[in-house]
Every structure is written in structure tokens, then in C-alpha cells.
């Protein structure tokens, strides 16, 4: 039987249960939003300071770096009121710079892959930075995740949050147009984490922003997510070639391991031997959401850890959801809790437009033109 999350949080506050990672008392977190707190996290090789911002509201605790807009920690309670950090990350900036597989990062200018780093727009061909075999992944070698963002904290009514700003100049990583991006992280009074993305350009370009948090609702470093239960409201997905580039087909999930329309454990079919799973080493695909593009975020996926009772519900206005089952975690990375991360120790659920959309006219367009504003929102609702 699942308990009301606010009841659990209030109980935790009354019992004085302490935070395991963020270091703040539960009573303070449960009492409402707290003004974001800034502290030095480290320095880059050139001496640039990297700061960490800590936010609390509605029983959710969030830590964010100005380097890459990285979510360095996110804590929520389980059914007994015990807090755990449910996102993978590092405890130092050097590992983020040298080793990170996009832990918690803001992704841009284009999330996911573009085949051979090439596309044509308005009759002109562009060559992007290539960093994933022959392809461009998550914006190239120096994507938005590898830059310092300007951060502006705010409190608005019962909400607390951060406005993050970054300007990508014309030609950066091969993309046309100077793109001004603004991303807002908000913690609501109910503990929801909302992300609002905005961008404008002075030349026609392509844009696809997303967040790359690695989730383990049992707590980072606690082991496999194969016993997590997942549902995705999608009757189709985009199969890929061996380079994980979409073939252009919108294939039905029915009768395949990709059918998550009814809740099932991630591990149930992950070793089913489907050719798509074999070449991806698990799940690393875009699900075509049944709702399509919508004016407001709509619920599209639910993740639950049966051991802790923690749940994550995702709502978005985007047409796609990339589910990645942590296939390339290999035990060489040590996280914030001192544990090594191995294959399948976390998963990503990235709200997005489709991978390689600039090269597939049948996919929803990712073109942004001068005078237009790119806007999209994703809401993460936590429960127990």
C-alpha cells in the first residue's frame, strides 16, 4: 500500500530523520521552500570557479552545478520517510570534466544523435562536431553540458528555482545561428521538479534540448534497476541501425520487448535477444509517444522501485522519450556515495524530439527560425 507523499514527509520531519547526502534536516525541507544556497564546488583547469546551488521544497532536495547545468544530487524520501539521492553523479568537478557520461547534464544544442554529424537546412549542408563514432551525440565534443551557465536563483510564491542562461555562438560545434538558451529548474511546493526550456536564434538552426539525469529510485550506488517497474504510453518506437541512428521506421512495440504500455519490470525482457537490444546492449531507443506534441505537459511514463516504494512520474509536451538502461556503465566510475556504477545501475528517461530528425522528413521538425521561440516543459512528480 502506497502512502501519501506529504504524509511520509511530515512523518520524517517529526521523527527528525536526517538527510543522507544533502546534509540538511528533513524538518526544514518539509516546512516549505528555502532560498537557493550557493557554494564553491571546485575549479576548472583554467581557474574558472564552479558553483553548486542547493534547493529544497515540498520534501525534494536538489543540487545543481553551473557547469553544464548538472543535477549533482536529487533526494526524495521512501515509504518510511528515509531520504536517498536517486541520481548518479560525482563529488568533484575533475571527474565531471574527464569522465562523465552526461550524468545529470543539460543537453544541447541537439540531444541524442545526428548521423555522421551532417544535415541540410534550406539547401545548405552543415558538418557538426563528431564525437560518437561517425556521428554527433548530444551537441558534439563541447556540447551545452561542458560549458559554464549563468545562474539566477529565484523564489516565486511557494516555488523556488534557478534560471540558467547560455549563449551558443554561430558556428559552435558546427551549428548555424547564435542560440540564446534559457532553462528554468523549479521545485514546487509539492516537491515536483519542473524544467522549462526556451531558446531563440538569429539564423535558421536545429535545436533539441533535454536533461540527462541517470535515475535509480533505490538510491545511487545501490545496484541494478532491472527490478524497477516502468510504463511508457507509446505504441511505437524508432528502430536504429548498428550506430544507434534511427532507420526512419516507426515500428510497433506490440509483440516486442519494447512494449511498456502495461507496467513491467525493466529486467523482464531486457535479455530477450531482439536484434535491436543486441546492438544497443539493452534499451537505448526513442519511444514515439501516443499523445504526440501537446500544448501542455501530459503524463507519459511512470517508474517505480518496489523495494523503497519511490515513484517518478514524467509529464512532457514533447513527442518522444529516450529510454536508456545504463548499458555503457562499466564499473570504472565511482559516484557520490563512494560506490562504482556498473551496467544497468541506472536509467535515463529523456523527453525530446526524435534522434536524427533533421535527416528524416517524416519525423517532427526540430527547425527553429528567427522570430520564433523554442519552448518545451517537462515535469517530474515524485511519490512513495
Spatial contact of 63 and 71, defined as CB atoms under 8 Å apart:
yes
SS3 assignment for 204-223: CEECECEEECCECCCCCCCC
Q: Which DSSP helix (H) or strand (E) runs through 199?
A: strand 193-201
Record the cell numbers describing residue 219, joined without a space: 538510491
Tell me which residue has cell 544523435.
113
Long-range contacts of 169-174 (CB under 8 A, 24+ apart): 170/202, 170/203, 172/109, 172/142, 173/109, 173/128, 173/129, 173/136, 173/139, 173/140, 173/141, 173/142, 173/143, 174/117, 174/126, 174/127, 174/128, 174/129, 174/136, 174/140
Catalytic residues: 212, 350
- Whole-angstrom CA distances from 89 to 21, 72, 99, 148, 356 are 12, 6, 11, 17, 27
Handedness of CA 366, 296, 185, 312 (dihedral sign): negative
Amino acid at each position: 500500500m502506497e502512502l501519501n507523499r506529504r504524509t511520509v514527509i511530515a512523518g520524517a520531519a517529526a521523527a527528525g530523520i536526517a538527510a543522507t547526502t544533502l546534509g540538511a534536516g528533513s524538518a526544514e525541507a518539509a516546512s516549505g521552500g528555502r532560498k537557493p544556497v550557493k557554494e564553491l564546488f571546485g575549479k576548472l583547469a583554467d581557474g574558472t570557479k564552479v558553483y553548486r546551488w542547493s534547493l529544497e521544497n515540498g520534501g525534494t532536495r536538489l543540487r545543481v552545478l553551473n557547469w553544464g547545468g548538472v543535477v549533482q544530487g536529487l533526494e526524495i524520501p521512501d515509504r518510511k520517510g528515509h531520504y536517498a539521492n536517486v541520481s548518479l553523479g560525482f563529488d568533484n568537478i575533475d571527474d565531471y570534466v574527464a569522465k562523465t557520461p552526461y550524468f545529470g547534464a543539460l543537453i544541447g544544442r541537439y540531444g541524442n544523435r545526428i548521423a555522421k554529424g551532417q544535415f541540410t537546412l534550406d539547401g545548405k549542408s552543415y558538418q557538426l562536431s563528431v564525437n560518437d563514432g561517425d556521428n554527433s551525440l548530444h551537441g558534439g565534443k563541447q556540447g551545452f553540458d561542458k560549458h559554464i551557465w549563468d545562474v539566477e536563483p529565484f523564489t516565486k510564491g511557494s516555488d523556488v528555482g534557478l534560471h540558467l542562461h547560455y549563449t551558443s555562438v554561430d558556428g559552435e560545434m558546427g551549428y548555424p545561428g547564435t542560440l540564446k538558451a534559457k532553462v528554468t529548474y523549479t521545485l514546487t511546493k509539492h516537491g515536483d521538479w519542473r524544467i522549462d526550456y526556451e531558446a531563440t536564434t538569429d539564423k535558421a538552426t536545429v535545436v533539441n534540448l533535454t536533461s540527462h539525469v541517470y535515475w535509480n529510485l533505490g538510491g545511487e550506488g545501490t545496484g541494478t534497476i532491472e527490478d524497477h517497474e516502468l510504463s511508457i504510453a507509446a505504441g511505437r518506437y524508432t528502430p536504429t541501425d548498428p550506430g544507434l541512428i534511427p532507420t526512419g521506421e516507426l515500428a510497433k512495440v506490440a509483440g516486442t520487448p519494447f512494449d511498456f504500455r502495461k507496467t513491467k519490470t525493466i529486467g523482464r525482457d531486457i535479455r530477450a535477444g531482439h536484434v535491436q537490444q543486441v546492438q544497443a546492449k539493452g534499451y537505448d531507443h526513442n519511444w514515439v509517444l501516443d499523445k504526440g506534441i501537446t500544448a501542455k505537459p501530459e503524463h507519459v511514463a511512470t517508474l517505480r522501485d518496489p523495494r523503497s516504494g519511490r515513484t517518478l512520474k514524467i509529464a512532457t509536451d514533447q513527442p518522444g522519450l529516450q529510454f536508456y538502461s545504463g548499458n555503457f556503465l562499466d564499473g570504472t566510475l565511482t559516484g557520490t556515495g563512494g560506490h562504482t556504477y556498473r551496467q544497468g545501475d541506472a536509467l535515463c528517461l529523456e523527453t525530446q524530439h526524435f534522434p536524427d530528425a533533421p535527416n528524416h522528413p517524416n519525423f517532427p521538425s526540430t527547425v527553429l527560425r528567427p522570430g520564433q521561440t523554442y519552448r518545451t516543459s517537462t515535469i517530474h512528480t515524485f511519490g512513495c
